[in-house]
Amino acid sequence: MGDFFTPEILWWVAGFLLLGLELAVPGVYLLFFGIAALIVGTNAFFLGDSIFGVGQQLVAFVVVSAVVIFLGGRFYRAGRTGPPSEDDNPVNRLIGREAKLSEAIEAGRGRVALGDSWWTVEGPDLAKGTRVRIVGANGNVLRVEPIGAGTA
């Protein structure tokens, strides 16, 4: 039973625990530390305690973690080039919807209620209650035009 708690077994247990925790928490850093722990555990298994002592294993874990984070970060970021696309912006899903102005548009700004949210809108000055169509967005401000004005 005493042989079960050898350094390589503990590294493997730690590695698999970190990989399992990766599923429960956001981000990817536990994945990198888990891989590093598995690598150090495998080296400890093949090299033995006389050549690869606990102090060297800890140093190796730090070094391997840094290398794995560096390499893993490069691969992780490679698939995420550039800024988020406009398709990722949920505001764009509102374009084309029709609504009734909850507050008049004065000096180019007003408000509209969509579902359970209030939105700031910009467009030509219009009275409260006017039906409008959302034609675009500028950040979180929706651009609207009255229904029937230049639209079919």
Cα angle value 26/33/40 (rounded, 5°): 160
Q: What is the DSSP string of 24-90?
A: TSSSSHHHHHHHHHHHHHHHHHHHHHHHS-HHHHHHHHHHHHHHHHHHHHHHHHHTS-SSPPGGG-G
Comparing 69-78, 85-94, 128-137, the range with the smallest average pLDDT is 85-94
The tens digit of pLDDT for each residue in 95-122 reads 899 999 999 999 999 999 988 889 999 9
Rounded distance, CA 37 to CA 117, Å? 47
- What's the whole-number average pLDDT of the chain? 87
Model confidence over 132-148: pLDDT tens digits?
Answer: 999 998 888 999 999 97
The pair phi, psi for residue 8, each rounded to 5°, is -65, -35
Token pair, residue 42, equals 């495998």
Residue 53 has pLDDT above 70, yes or no: yes
Angle, in degrees to the nearest 10, between helices 29-51 and 54-78: 150
pTM given for the model? 0.51
User: What would be the CATH architecture of the domain defined by 87-146?
Assistant: Beta Barrel (2.40)
Give the model's pLDDT for residue 90. Answer: 76
The domains of the chain are located at: 2-78, 87-146
- Integer Rg of the chain from CA: 29
- Residue 12 binned pLDDT confidence (cut-offs 50, 70, 90): very high
Residue among 41, 31, 23, 42 nearest 68 (CA): 31
| pLDDT at 152 (0 to 100) | 44
pLDDT band at 149 (very low <50, low <70, confident <90, very high): low
Residue 2's identity, in one-letter code, is G
